[in-house]
């Protein structure tokens, strides 16, 4: 457990100076190995799933449970995870596919979060920050660009700096990426559309492609050992119609109710995160 | 302490069925009396104030401190508080003034919040919910209208219900009031402008007057016993320019940095809450 936290701290420090440092990729593999070994010591308790066609379990340590883990996405064999991730590192995407990448990255992310759940009661911040570094790393790798977390605002007599989620600036005459990252969204998600709206207003609509990345939307009832998904699709539709337009929403464990948003008005493109690796180059050249 | 919580629970139950029930006004007086007596048992520790021209103290119970209390706004004499509030109940606003009303309501609100701070470690929810009922009560009294907390959305083929902050519907051809209430705002405040934007989009700009009511923006360093105000005026300006336009922001303990927003672009009307009682009738007839 101390080893996991130590590696996490190294990732934090290195990411701040150079997120493209290849050491960070290795540290993500290393932290996954450590967490995977820790989790093998604990038993798995199946949950009663209220979500159609999805099964979940939790790891249990005495009276503490981890967050819900999707059975179909969790890869038990750590060599398999490392093999898939290796294809990303070596830019051999043809050797794997979006579904397997989603599963491998889901397994890596949920393993670290679950270890924190088991050892640090009520700590939401560490999994959240870890997940931000984790997702930013894949974006940075694929785009070969360092992210920023604030941008200058010049507006007639006003000059200020706006703190933002991760921003990737692809250079002149190309779109920029606005990347909010959340382990889950709930009612706070309106902030994502509102930040996108401010960027649209300050820099012009279409200048920033808003890409939200989330881990999952599960909620576990600890006494009943039941798992549900908290989704607010109608509110997302109102936000997409009246606040701003998000360009993509990627999930590692994609909720069924949000998949449906792809097919109704207003269109919101909600996809599994593995798709990002295969479409990003097209998206940014098309703008 | 149990008495205070019992009265608070009565307020909650009664407010849900009829917020205009005159018993609720009496219960707010009663809960204030109880809290005022409790606080007299504890010593006051002055804080080192990093805010120009404002002095603060905390109540201390063993190792627990209450939130910071503004010396100039806190009325020690509970009869004085009851006298001022009596003028509101009897609609005799000419006998008092905006500053005294602000002080009386500040004293009532901060007394309950401080009791919770001293007795229930880390409970942010009870003070927050209390403050919502407290502010909604004054709005309901002045407007003689029951609030709603969700509204119907009819948008071509979409029919849904949008959960909102308190909404006061003044009837056909008159503006409606959108009333978010927060004990403090920090970085979550963007939600307020975003909700206003959705209302503008769904019902037409200007239909809803957005009125945000806040208690204070103080932050206390517990070891140094220092108090500061956390204000983000440049971000508020961006939200007011690019997300939506809030019509009023009222504070019980108004931060100096937000007062300045009244005089620069874009105008944001930030006032002490006592002003609400004197201007509301003009505002809603003018629309």
Tell me the domain boundaries of chain B.
2-143, 148-286
Complex ipTM > 0.85: yes
- B183, B113 contact by CB (below 8 A): yes
Q: Does A203 contact chain B (CB < 8 Å)?
A: no
- Percentage with pLDDT > 70 across chain B: 99
Classify residue B267 by its DSSP letter: P
pLDDT exceeds 70 at position B224: yes
pLDDT score recorded for residue B286: 61
Would strands B69-70 and B56-61 be described as parallel, antiparallel, or unpaired? antiparallel
pLDDT of B184 above 60: yes
A236 CB within 8 Å of a chain B CB: no
Q: Does B178 touch chain A (CB under 8 A)?
A: no
**Which among A162, A163, A242 is the nearest to B197, CB-wise?**
A242
Whether the Cβ atoms of residue B169 and residue B148 lie closer than 8 Å to each other: yes
C-beta contacts of B57-65 below 8 A and 24+ residues apart: B58/B220, B58/B225, B59/B114, B59/B117, B59/B118, B61/B118, B61/B119, B64/B117, B64/B118, B64/B121, B65/B117, B65/B118, B65/B220, B65/B222
Q: What is the pLDDT of residue A97?
A: 98
Q: Do A198 and B158 touch (CB under 8 A)?
A: no
pLDDT for A151 equals 83
Check residue A113 and give its pLDDT: 97
- Say yes or no to pLDDT of B287 above 60: no
Per-residue pLDDT of chain A (287 residues; tens, 9 = 90+): 889 999 999 999 999 999 999 999 999 999 999 999 999 999 999 999 999 999 999 999 998 999 999 999 999 999 999 999 999 999 999 999 999 999 999 999 999 999 999 999 889 899 999 999 999 999 999 999 999 888 888 776 777 788 888 999 999 888 999 999 999 998 789 999 999 999 999 899 989 999 999 999 999 999 999 999 999 999 999 999 999 999 999 999 999 999 999 999 999 999 999 999 999 988 887 64
CB-based contact (8 Å) between A202 and chain B? Answer: yes
pLDDT at position A33 is 97
Q: What is the pLDDT of residue A152?
A: 83
Structure confidence at residue A134 (pLDDT)? 97
CA–CA min distance B267, chain A (Å):
13
Q: Which residues of B touch A200 (CB under 8 A)?
A: 242
Write out chain A residues lying below 8 Å of B237, CB-based: 158, 160
| pLDDT value, residue B156 | 66
Span B8-22, pLDDT tens digits:
999 999 999 999 999
How close B16 gets to chain A, by Cα (Å)? 22
Q: Using an 8 Å Cβ cutoff, are B167 and B152 in contact?
A: no
Query: Is A242–B201 a contact, with Cβ atoms under 8 angstroms apart?
Result: yes
Pick from A181-185, B126-130, B145-149: least confident: B145-149
Measured between CB atoms, which of A153, A198, A242 is closest to B239? A198
Interchain pair B194, A190: CB under 8 A: yes
Q: Report residue A175 CA to chain centroid gap.
A: 21
In sequence order, the 6+-apart residues with CB closer than 8 A to the CB of A107 are A32, A73, A74, A75, A81
Given B190, B198, B234, which is nearest A239 (Cβ)? B198
**Over 90: is that where the pLDDT of B151 sits?**
no
Question: Is residue B98 a contact partner of residue B275, using CB atoms and an 8 Å limit?
Answer: yes
pLDDT at B155: 72
pLDDT in the model for residue A103: 98
> Peptide bond before A266: cis, by omega within 30 degrees of 0?
yes
Task: Write out pLDDT tens, residues A199-235.
Answer: 999 899 989 999 999 999 999 999 999 999 999 999 9
Hey, is the C-beta of A287 within 8 angstroms of any chain B C-beta?
A: no
CA distance A178 to A172: 16
Using CB atoms, which residue from A157, A162, A243 is nearest to B194? A243
When the pLDDT of each residue in chain B is averaged and rounded to a whole number, the result is 94
Chain A neighbours among B 107-166 (CB < 8 Å)? 153, 155, 157-158, 160, 162-163
pLDDT of residue A122: 84
Residues in chain B closer than 8 A to A190 (CB atoms):
191, 194-195
Q: What is the pLDDT of residues B228-275, one digit of tens each?
A: 999 999 999 999 999 999 999 999 999 999 999 999 999 999 999 999
Q: Tell me how close the Cα of A223 comes to any Cα of chain B, in angstroms.
A: 23
Distance from CA of B160 to the nearest CA of A (A): 7
Task: Kindly give the residue spans of alpha helices, DSSP state H, lying in A40-166.
Answer: 78-89, 98-119, 125-143
Name the 3-class secondary structure at B248: strand
Of B158, B195, B243, the CB nearest to A237: B158
Q: Report d(CA B236, CA A90) in Å as an integer.
A: 45
List CB contacts (< 8 A) between A238 and chain B: 153, 160, 162, 198, 201-202
Burial A236-270 (b: 16+ CB within 10 A, else e): bbbbbbbbbbbbbbbbbbbbebbeebeeeeeebeb
């Amino acid at each position: 457990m101390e080893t996991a936290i130590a590696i996490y701290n190294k990732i934090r420090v290195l990411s701040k100076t150079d997120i493209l440092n290849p050491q960070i990729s290795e540290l993500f593999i290393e932290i996954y190995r450590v967490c995977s070994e820790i989790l093998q010591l604990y038993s798995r308790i199946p949950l009663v799933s209220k979500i159609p066609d999805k099964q979940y379990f939790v790891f249990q340590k005495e009276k503490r449970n981890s967050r819900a883990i999707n059975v179909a996405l969790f890869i038990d064999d750590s060599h398999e995870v490392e093999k898939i991730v290796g294809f990303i590192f070596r830019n051999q995407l043809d050797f794997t596919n979006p579904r397997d990448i989603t599963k491998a990255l889901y397994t890596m992310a949920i393993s670290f979060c679950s270890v924190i759940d088991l050892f640090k009661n009520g700590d939401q911040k560490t999994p959240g920050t870890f997940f931000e570094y984790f997702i930013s790393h894949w974006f940075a790798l694929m785009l070969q660009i360092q992210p920023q977390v604030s941008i200058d605002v010049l507006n007639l007599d006003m000059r200020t700096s706006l703190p933002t989620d991760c921003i990737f600036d692809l250079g002149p005459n190309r779109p920029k990426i606005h990347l909010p990252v959340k382990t889950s969204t709930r009612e706070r998600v309106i902030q994502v559309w509102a930040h996108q709206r401010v960027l649209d207003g300050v820099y012009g609509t279409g200048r920033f492609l808003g890409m939200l990345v989330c881990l999952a939307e599960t909620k576990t009832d600890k006494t009943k050992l039941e798992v549900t998904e908290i989704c607010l699709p109608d509110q997302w539709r109102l936000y997409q119609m009246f606040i701003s337009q998000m360009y993509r929403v990627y999930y590692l464990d994609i909720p069924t109710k949000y998949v449906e948003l792809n097919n109704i008005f207003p269109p919101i493109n909600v996809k599994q995160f593995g798709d990002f690796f295969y479409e990003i180059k097209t998206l940014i050249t098309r703008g």
